[in-house]
Chains A and B, each alone.
Chain A
Amino acid sequence: MAIFIDEKDIGTAWLAAYEALQETGQAVNLSVAIAHPLHEDVGVRRAIERRLVELQAAGTSNFANPQSMHTVANTIFPIGLYRPGRDGAASRFMANVHRNEGLRASSRSRRWGTYIGRLTAYPSQDGSTTNQLELILKTLNAGRKYVDTYEMPIVAPDVDLGSPGHLTSGAVLHGDVGFDTLKRGGPCLAHISLTSSRDGALSMVALYRAHVYETRAYGNFLGLARLLAFLAAESGRDVGQLLVVTGHAYSAAPGRATLLAAACAAAGTVTPIEISARRLGATMRDLDLPTVLR
Chain B
Amino acid sequence: MLAKIQNNRNLLGYAFMVPAAFLLLVFLTYPLGLGVWLGFTDTKIGRAGSFIGFENYEFLFGDSVARLSLFNTVFYTVVASILKFGLGLWLALLLNKHLPFKTFFRAVILLPWIVPTALSAIVFWWIYDSQFSVISWVLIRLGLIDSYINFLGDPWNARLSTIAANVWRGIPFVAISLLAGLQTISPSLYEAAAIDGATPWQQFRNITLPMLTPIIAVVMTFSVLFTFTDFQLIYVLTRGGPLNATHLMATLSFQRAISGGALGEGAALAIAMVPFLLAAILFSYFGLQRRAWQQGGDR
| Chain A partners chain B | no
Taking Cβ atoms with an 8 Å cutoff, the residues of A that contact B are none
Taking Cβ atoms with an 8 Å cutoff, the residues of B that contact A are none
